[in-house]
Amino acid sequence: MPKSLISIHDLSKEEILHILHTASAFEREPDSSLLRHKVIATLFFEPSTRTRLSFETAANRLSARIIGFTDSGSTSVTKGESIKDTIKTVSNYADLIVIRHPLEGSARYASEVSSVPVINAGDGANQHPSQTLLDMYSILKTQQSLDGLQLTLVGDLKYGRTVHSLLQAMSLFSTRFTFVSPPELAMPLEYKQFLQHRNLSYKESKDLLPHIPEADILYITRVQAERFSEPMEYEKVKNVYSLTASMLHPCKPNLKILHPLPRVNEIALDVDNTPQAYYFEQARNGIYTRMAIMAYLLGLT
């Protein structure tokens, strides 16, 4: 089976650092013919702006060609074709597949039936490992190190696939974690046990403000309407946190605010003009990181 990136656990600490180092090289020199003879398939069964467009930008920067769809309603999935048959077919056409699908485990299954590498671009509430790598690249760029940081994760920690992947990856770097969420959206037990097994400490809180002064990174997430089966449950928690510029005093001089985006109301617009706001640069970092991921999985340096 070719090497795929489905979970952040598919990469060792050395591989993560190698990809971040390569991303830095691509940022310095963003145009390359490294993937000139390659075809990249982007199969998006769920909406996306940043992940799809930055993967496609990354492929274009590396001179690859791109096939794919943004709406499975225009494909033979509507006629009842299975994920298995779809992936087996597309892996005849492309050298690498990027897939986003609402079902947890769908990307792993795709990698098991594919003859080419598969990148999980988000499977339900499970994992989003390329987001994690671009988050780590953003942390490294802004903090000059990944080691020993105070990482405060805020918002939907139950369904937020980006925070699950990020927690697991940053656990390799002696991170101190604080989880800020309403009880309904608390970090699932399995992730807290994961940290306990690694002797890493974490704090949990419903309140954001007391935890801002201690943070190196404030990682804010959206409460995702699409993950709730009961609309009223979403209504109860949808505006639970709203970070404003006035809340950033006091804060550490190195504090940066990250958000995987899209945002709704959880970061007020007045934060955008503060030196702590980093989420749009973070989205830009996705290009270089995804260039590095594709090159690595295709065995090209």
Alpha-carbon distance of 188 to 153, in angstroms, equals 13
Strand order from edge to edge, sheet including 118-123 = 65-69, 39-44, 96-101, 118-123
155 part of the interface to ligand CP, by CB under 6 A: no
Q: Indicate if the alpha-carbon torsion angle 180, 181, 187, 192 is positive or negative.
A: positive
User: Can you tell me which of 4, 7, 22, 48 binds ligand CP, judged by CB under 6 A?
Assistant: 48
165 part of the interface to ligand CP, by CB under 6 A: no
CB of 260 to ligand CP, least distance (A): 4
Which residues are catalytic, by number? 50-51, 79, 100, 128
239 part of the interface to ligand CP, by CB under 6 A: no
CB of 283 to ligand CP, least distance (A): 7
User: Can you tell me which of 12, 36, 49, 280 binds ligand CP, judged by CB under 6 A?
Assistant: 49
Binding residues among 254-273 for ligand CP as defined by CB under 6 A: 260-262
Nearer to ligand CP, 61 or 202 (CB): 61
CB of 289 to ligand CP, least distance (A): 12
Residue 270: how many other CB atoms lie within 10 Å = 13
Tokens 């925070």 belong to residue: 163
CB of 24 to ligand CP, least distance (A): 21
The residues that bridge with 177 in the sheet, in sequence order, are: 151, 202
3-state class (DSSP) for residue 200: coil
User: Can you tell me which of 4, 7, 51, 114 binds ligand CP, judged by CB under 6 A?
Assistant: 51
Q: Indicate if the alpha-carbon torsion angle 124, 283, 179, 184 is positive or negative.
A: negative
Nearer to ligand CP, 52 or 202 (CB): 52
50 part of the interface to ligand CP, by CB under 6 A: yes
> What would the x/- binding string for ligand CP be over residues 181 to 200, using CB under 6 A?
--------------------
The residues that bridge with 154 in the sheet, in sequence order, are: 180, 220
Tell me how many residues contact ligand CP (CB under 6 A).
9
- Please tell me whether the peptide bond between 117 and the residue prior to it is cis, using omega within 30 degrees of 0: no
Under 8 Å between Cβ of 251 and 278: no
3-state class (DSSP) for residue 160: coil
Report the interface residues with ligand CP, using CB under 6 A. 48-51, 122, 131, 260-262
